[in-house]
Amino acid sequence: MSTWEPVIGIEVHVELGTASKMFCGCPVVFGDQPNTAVCPTCLGLPGALPVTNGTAIEWLARIGLALHCRIAPFSVFHRKNYFYADVPKNYQISQFDLPVCVDGWLDVTADGEEIRVGIERAHMEEDTGKSLHQGSGGRIHAATSTLLDFNRSGVPLVEIVSRPDLRSAAQARAYAQDLRALVAELGVSDARMEEGSIRFDANVSVRPVSTKELGTKVEIKNMNSFRSLERAIGSEIDRQIGVLEDGGAVIQETRHWDEEVGATKGMRTKEGSSDYRYFTEPDLVPLEMPASTVERIRTDLPELPADRRHRFGQLGLDSHLVNVLSGSDPDLRRVFDEAVALGADPVISANWITGEVTAVFRRAEASKAEVRIRGSDLAELVMMVKQGTLSSSAAKEALSGVMAGEGSPREVAEARDLVQVSDEGLIGAAIDQVLAANAEAIERLRGGEEKVLGFLVGQVMRATGGKADPKLVNALLRQRIT
């Protein structure tokens, strides 16, 4: 029995969150009353013409640059012809052989291994309307009628096509998640899978290990979460291996992932449906992107997730902490960066951010309460613990006070009387008192009865009202007794 290697490529569609649609002035909206954000152009009325949304093109270049693509100085739109009820012109304005972005890559970590996924292209197109099949649980075959909503028609849609560089379902999931995070980071889309503003299709084939020739690929659609993407690809890999090991052949087709059944299902393939008769869109002039514009967009790029992970690693965070911190809320990550810049220990700061701060933040977010913490607060908190001014439990209490808006950690600690006594003179005086009253205990300790130390520490803590730094008390006691 031979072993098989899966080969996976991912196609991603991202709806851009520009103010207006790709080729008309209608607003980009989600969830509005059907057919309220429409005009002659996005309804495909006779005589209407498209006008390119320049912001959308710049945002596409932003995505392309973040994916290390080359930005074509000259690119053109094509018409992709196919009849479908929610495609109002029965062609989609898309790009064919001259896309805006080509030849990039994205580094992805999956199963502890870093892989570089090639990006073949990223191009601009327009979204279709939505078909709402009535009386059939949303299924077209049993529908009694279909309603059409064109609010989504003409929304700018970026298609990002990876090279077939992924070798497992887990890698595919990691790529999809990282790409989503990247797009969200760029601020060009909500990138919400559940709203369909980011959609993933996978091309899957398998081949015998250590062969070069690609197997027949199958396109998988209808994966609505990262989990279903991973499951669908895994299931499809198993299916294809099963077919091949039974001596069969994989058929090139499009298959739908059925979440409930947990398997992909073949769709009825239409003959000749793959000939889209692409030709240059005569209603639009070619797109030109001067080098100066590309440079401006490049300069405006935020720190990218992969670069940030690398930076976190260099600060001494282990890979687990890097992952958790990278996945944290951007506002909290900013607090972390500010605290570290102010000299706070990165590992301790990261533990605070990913632990207690996130916990408070989530509780507060759930109750819609305002959360107030600045980088300087975190730096101060870390410093106070390090200096022994706050015990770790007192620090947690101080933090909750800070995040409730009661002031800086020091102000909260003072107001709530949380400050540890670390003054050697004060503690020394208390020790002297305790030792004077417990001569017998000292003798027992000197005789080797170690547990007595705990009793003495307790006495000193009591004498200081519980505010002395226990470590310091311990150390000073030993000093005096030995």
Q: What residues make contact with other proteins under the rule CB under 8 A? A: 40, 43-52, 79, 81, 83, 85, 88-91, 146, 148, 275, 277-279, 282-285
* 415 binds, options other proteins, Zn ion, none, Cβ within 5 to 8 A by partner type: none
Q: Of 11, 35, 39, 470, which lies in the binding site for Zn ion, with binding defined by CB under 5 A?
A: 39
Q: Please, which residues have CB within 8 angstroms of residue 42's CB and are 6 or more apart in sequence?
A: 21, 23, 24, 26, 88, 150, 153, 154
425 binds, among other proteins, Zn ion, none (CB under 5 to 8 A by kind): none
Residue 365 partner contact from Zn ion, other proteins, none using kind-dependent CB cut-offs of 5 to 8 Å: none
Least distance (Å) between residue 357 CB and other proteins: 50
333 with 325: CB under 8 angstroms? Answer: yes
Per partner kind, with CB cut-offs from 5 to 8 A, the member of Zn ion, other proteins, none near residue 146 is: other proteins
Residue number, 243 or 284, with CB nearest to Zn ion? 284
* 159 token code pair: 């298609």
Shorter beta-carbon distance to Zn ion: residue 64 or 88: 88
- DSSP run (H or E) holding 434: helix 424-437
Selected from 7, 16, 26, 421, the binder of Zn ion by CB under 5 A is 26
Lookup result for tokens 């909290």 = 332
Which run of H or E residues covers position 201?
strand 198-208
- Cβ contacts of residue 320 below 8 Å, gap of 6+? none
CB of 41 or CB of 328, closer to Zn ion: 41
Residue 186 binding target from Zn ion, other proteins, none, CB below 5 to 8 Å by type: none
Q: Are 473 and 421 in contact (CB under 8 A)?
A: no
Helix (H, G, I), strand (E, B) or coil at 60: helix
Choose among Zn ion, other proteins, none what residue 42 binds, the Cβ cut-off being 5 to 8 Å by kind.
Zn ion
User: 282 contacts which partner out of other proteins, Zn ion, none, CB within 5 to 8 A by kind?
Assistant: other proteins
Q: Is 47 or 425 the residue whose CB approaches other proteins more closely?
A: 47
Q: Between 83 and 111, whose beta carbon lies closer to other proteins? A: 83
Nearer to other proteins, 51 or 251 (CB): 51
249 touches which of Zn ion, other proteins, none (CB within 5 to 8 A by kind)? none
275 binds, among other proteins, Zn ion, none (CB under 5 to 8 A by kind): other proteins
* Binding at 96: pick from other proteins, Zn ion, none (beta carbon under 5-8 Å per type): none
Which is nearer to Zn ion, 28 or 379 (by Cβ)? 28
Distance CA 414, CA 407 (A): 10
Kindly state the smallest distance separating residue 294's Cβ from other proteins, in Å. 22
CB of 21 to Zn ion, least distance (A): 5
Write phi, then psi, for 108 (nearest 5 degrees): -130, 140
Alpha-carbon separation of residue 434 from 62, 453, 480 (angstroms): 69, 12, 12
Cβ-in-10-Å burial (0-12, 13-18, 19+) of 113 comes to exposed
Nearer to other proteins, 14 or 26 (CB): 26
Shortest reach from residue 44's CB to other proteins, in Å = 5
Residue 47 interaction partner, one of other proteins, Zn ion, none, beta carbon < 5-8 Å per kind: other proteins
CB of 336 to other proteins, least distance (A): 47
Backbone angles phi, psi at 221, to 5 degrees: -125, 175
Give how many residues touch Zn ion by CB under 5 A. Answer: 5
CA 261 centroid distance within chain: 28
Torsion of CA 216, 218, 219, 224, to 10 degrees: -140
Separation between Cα atoms, residue 160 and residue 68, nearest integer Å = 12
Taking the complex as a whole, how short is the minimal distance between the CB of residue 51 and other proteins, in angstroms?
A: 5
> Cβ distance 155 to 16 under 8 Å?
yes
Q: Residue 101 gets which letter from DSSP?
A: E
CB nearer to other proteins: pick between 285 and 426 = 285
Look-up of token digits 């209603």 = 283
**Between 137 and 282, CB nearer to other proteins:** 282
Q: Which is nearer to other proteins, 288 or 423 (CB)?
A: 288
Find the binder of Zn ion among 12, 22, 42, 191 (CB under 5 A). Answer: 42
Angle 47-50-52 from CA coordinates, rounded to 5°: 165
Degrees to nearest 5, angle at CA 224 with 333 and 187: 35
| Residues of this chain, 73-92, that bind Zn ion according to CB under 5 A | none
Cβ within 8 Å of residue 450, ≥6 positions away? none
- The single residue listed with the structure tokens 């030849």 is 103
CB of 30 to other proteins, least distance (A): 22
**Partner that binds at residue 74, options Zn ion, other proteins, none, CB closer than 5 to 8 Å by kind:** none
Shortest distance, position 24 Cβ to other proteins, whole Å:
9
Does the protein bind Zn ion through residue 24 (CB under 5 A)? yes
Token pair belonging to 469: 């730094």
Residues 372-401, interacting with Zn ion (CB under 5 A): none
Euclidean distance between CA atoms 224 and 196, whole angstroms: 8
**Nearest distance from C-beta of residue 255 to other proteins, angstroms:** 21
Q: Which residues contact 298 (CB under 8 A, 6 or more apart)?
A: 65
Residues 6+ apart with CB under 8 A from 304: 66, 182, 185
Nearer to other proteins, 88 or 401 (CB): 88
Q: How far is residue 306's CA from residue 329's CA, in Å, rounded to a whole number? A: 16
Least distance from other proteins to the Cβ atom of residue 39, Å: 8
